[in-house]
Chains A and B, each alone.
Chain A
Amino acid sequence: MSEMTLEAPVAGVKDHSPEATIALLKERYPEHISDDARDGYEGIIVHPDKIVEISRDLQSELGYNYLASLTGVDLIDDNKLEIVYHTASIKHGGNPLVLKVQVDRDNPVLPSVTPIWPGAEYQEREAFDMYGFQFEGHPDLRRILTWDGFHGYPLRKDWREPFYEEDNKPFGSRWPGGEVFRAEERNLYGKNVQYPAGWMPEGDEIEAETDSYAGITYSRDQSPDIKTEKVTINMGPQHPSTHGVFRMAITLDGETIMGLKPVMGYLHRNHEKIGERNTFIGNIPYTDRLDYISSMSNNHGYVLAVEKLMDATVPERAEWIRILMVELTRIANHLWAIGFLLNDLGALQTPMLYYYIERELILDFFEAASGSRMMCNYMRFGGVAYDLPDDVRGQPVMKFLHDLIYERLPKALNQGDQLITGNEIVRARGMGVGYLSPEDAIAYSAAGPVLRASGVPYDLRKANPYSYYEHLDFDVAVRYNGDIYDRFLIRVDEMQQSLRILQQVLPHLEETEGGAINDGKPQYAIRMPKAGEAYGRVENPKGELGYYVTAKRRDANPARYHVRSPSFINLTALEKMCIGHKVADVVAILGSIDIVLGEVDR
């Protein structure tokens, strides 16, 4: 790929805002673009025939070179299916430009944008898996989160899960005539599960499984002098280095990786369907369970999206508390990530446990503030659930935070630096391994530390600021080598920046002591005051975490709830990073991406 993707060199284009870019596109394709005129919606609706051209224009010359999110929506009332693209400008930042394509629900065929944005590959597979979109020109259109023999499209509005009770919570059977039952007892084999008519398990489903290996290409005769054989092996799903249930189908020539296909979905629970059944507030504790290492940030993204829909305001103290929480989460996450990366490199447990001592302190604070160490469920629409606690582990809370932020954490980072940074083994294993070029990082929609370690200084806290980040003084950490070692270093840099932010937040917390922490009385039964869509994006420790939420007026449940998960999308680049390296490196490369399967599989 050329320089084009990094720069936006269109002569004469000054204004890079989504509005101006849309106007420009409309001039070019007057016949094929219309405004999304639905109440509360933004962006444009593009004719399927032109989506590829328009994407190419956006990607190569108009500066919208980053596909942040791609997802399907079921518009069952109009008998249509819709794909929503959120594209962003790496160079100029700002709000994403939203494109939509609508197709017939019974024949959902449209061109794939994977050739333009390779980062769309898994997201399109997910849309195919969940809604049945047929993407023409997609290199490898298979199910991704459900198993290959799965029947039906589980995110369509008329699809019903086993244990189905009602379309929306709260369920009528709970009150006032609540008679308890265990759902699984009612689900005797076949009763509430949909199988295709006449389907009987016979054992030939195995064929579907071999599809996993179909996309892997063999290139023979690489080393004519040495006689080697190519083999395809599975790493995982039960493998200590995969950080959960995750499988990689790897084709090897000797020890060298020739091809790699991730196989995921073992933890798939249809989080998004559950989210569409849930009430708005009921989704908050579910977001904890996505990336369970950083539940505070997950809460934050979701409440931001819903606050956009509700037009809620957040009092000052609550904003500072939120930033305090999410930055501590970033540190806790990176301590964990680095610890595990070193584990994967063979430094078993010791460095990891040293990092954990401080992470424990952060979790103690979360527990005192929210009631739980990891499943925090702490943020609410318009604020946070509780004020800061009085004390943590026997210390007044402000003193605890002060000591943590000024003493313990800097010391821990220092110690980690002495322990690891200069270590010759870590350098030998990390430097130059798992390289991802900046162009590829953008093209593959990589986010967070993976993107920034490849020399792309894109951080939503600066690029598209939310909360009070505009008022805080910090730098976007960036490293340029794009290898494992840099992905380790960048996490350390980011922790340093988080400490800087935290040091600025502490005085504000003291100032706003006693202030309101929520905008008005918290409500449990929220009815959306107006219809619309919202995309709430935050810089979660693992990258851009986005929630695409749409609602109808007066509804108590989201009509569409989608999670743009950084762990999942970062995996798109895994094969690219691994090819040519050894099996042992795959473990470390995967560790350097830092995935959490709860978020990958959703």
Chain B
Amino acid sequence: MYGLGILKGMAVTMKHFVTSYLDDIFWASRGGRYYNDDALAVRQSLEGKGVITVFYPEEKLPVPERFRFVPFLVTDDPPPGQKWGHEWCTSCGICAKVCPPQCIWIERGKQPNGRPKPEPEKFFIDIDICMNCGMCAEFCPFDAIKMDHDYELASYNRTSAHIHDKERLSKPLSYWREIAPKKAAAEAAARDFAEESKKRKKAKKGEDDGREERLAEVMARQLAYKGAQY
């Protein structure tokens, strides 16, 4: 029959229409369908039914640990009364070299005698150019630069507000632990592991067979790379 195809399609639309109301009714007695964390958690999951719209910015979907937005610099947790602790960055320059659009500028620290100091004097990221690729965080050997989860960076002035300096970029380790707990723990374990094997290697210096230590080190690196599982 001509028009049957259209009617079949209409039935699908009708089903969606009805389901969305049924889901409203389901949530009515459970705190409502919107502005309710329990409901939000299932709305866009495999169990989601009916309307899947999220009312941003009132509601926000949680982001996964690996989510990456403009990077930040990790510092030690701040001593009382201060905003940050000691910078982890050693100004080795790897992130500046690997950054595909070249939006990281680092001025390496100098000791009074002119030798390089493992600390950046200045550190800039132009977030207009940053492509949020995460390469800097992936290749930093000191876990000193990490990808942030804060994606709301809109501003009124593009030309003056979008070059982030060291102050703007620095965030304490506790922040990283908070936004990416599993990843932070895996990284800490890998660091400890590498530290251990280094110590053992030092203690054994002079003896000729460092094979075991080398293996342990390789494993540690591998672990660090994979971030174990998180």
Contacts and interface: CB of A to CB of B under 8 A. Distances in A.
Interface of A: 169-171, 173-180, 182, 278-279, 281-286, 289, 350, 354, 357, 360-361, 364, 367-372, 375, 377, 385-387, 389-390, 392-395, 400, 403-404, 407-408, 415, 418-427, 516-518, 521-522, 524-525
Nearest to B125: A180
B51 to A, nearest CB: 10
Contacts of B230: 389-390
B122 to A, nearest CB: 7
A517 B226 contact: yes
A403 B139 contact: no
Contacts of B63: 367
A228 to B, nearest CB: 32
B106 A176 contact: yes
Contacts of A182: 126, 159, 163
Contacts of A422: 4-5, 8-9
B100 A278 contact: yes
Contacts of A395: 45-46
B154 interface: no
A176 B107 contact: yes
Contacts of B107: 176-179
Contacts of B8: 418-419, 422-423
B161 interface: no
B97 A525 contact: yes
A279 B139 CA distance: 14
B45 A375 contact: no
A390 B182 contact: yes
A375 B44 contact: no
25 contacts: A170-B96, A170-B102, A174-B93, A177-B108, A178-B123, A180-B122, A182-B159, A354-B16, A360-B52, A361-B46, A367-B64, A367-B67, A370-B66, A375-B131, A389-B230, A390-B229, A394-B45, A395-B46, A422-B4, A423-B5, A423-B6, A423-B8, A517-B226, A521-B225, A524-B135
B156 interface: no
B108 A176 contact: yes
Given A369-B66, A389-B64, A524-B135, A364 B44 contact: yes
B25 interface: no
Contacts of B2: 424
Interface of B: 2-6, 8-9, 11-13, 16, 41, 44-46, 48, 52, 63-68, 91, 93-94, 96-100, 102, 104-108, 116, 122-124, 126, 131-135, 138-139, 147, 159, 163, 182, 221-222, 225-227, 229-230
A448 to B, nearest CB: 27
Name the 9 nearest CB pairs between A and B, nearest first: A422-B5, A178-B105, A282-B100, A176-B108, A285-B133, A175-B93, A180-B124, A371-B66, A371-B68
A372 B97 contact: no
Given A176-B91, A281-B98, A285-B131, A385 B138 contact: yes
A369 B64 CA distance: 9
Nearest to B116: A176
B5 A424 contact: yes
A265 to B, nearest CB: 22
A377 B16 contact: no
B100 A178 contact: no
B12 A518 contact: no
Nearest to B98: A524
Contacts of A368: 64, 66
A407 B47 CA distance: 11
Nearest to A426: B5
A421 B5 contact: yes
B139 to A, nearest CB: 4
B105 A179 contact: yes
B56 to A, nearest CB: 14
B74 to A, nearest CB: 17
A116 B67 CA distance: 49
B98 A175 contact: no
Contact of B11 (A400, A407, A418): A418
Nearest to B13: A350
Given A171-B102, A371-B134, A394-B45, A419 B97 contact: no
A112 to B, nearest CB: 36
Given A175-B104, A281-B98, A522-B139, 19 more contacts: A170-B102, A175-B97, A175-B105, A282-B98, A285-B131, A285-B135, A361-B46, A368-B64, A371-B64, A371-B67, A372-B134, A377-B135, A392-B64, A395-B46, A407-B46, A418-B8, A422-B4, A422-B5, A424-B5
B126 to A, nearest CB: 7
A377 to B, nearest CB: 5
A421 B5 CA distance: 8
A427 B93 CA distance: 60
A372 B66 CA distance: 8
Contacts of B222: 516, 521
Contacts of B226: 386-387, 517
Contacts of A278: 100
A515 B108 CA distance: 39
Contacts of B98: 170, 279, 281-282, 524-525
Contacts of B11: 418
Nearest to A513: B229
Give the interface centre of A173, A177, A403 by most chain B CB atoms within 10 Å.
Answer: A177
Contact of B100 (A175, A286, A517): A286
A394 B124 CA distance: 36
A279 B124 CA distance: 21
A418 B12 contact: yes
Nearest to A423: B5
A321 to B, nearest CB: 12
A170 B4 CA distance: 62
A87 B139 CA distance: 39
Nearest to B147: A371
Contacts of B116: 176
Contacts of B138: 385, 522
Given A182-B159, A521-B225, A524-B135, A403 B46 contact: yes
Given A174-B104, A182-B159, A524 B44 contact: no
Contacts of A375: 131-133
A552 B65 CA distance: 39
Contacts of B132: 372, 375
Give the interface centre of B98, B102, B135 by most chain A CB atoms within 10 Å.
Answer: B102
B80 to A, nearest CB: 32
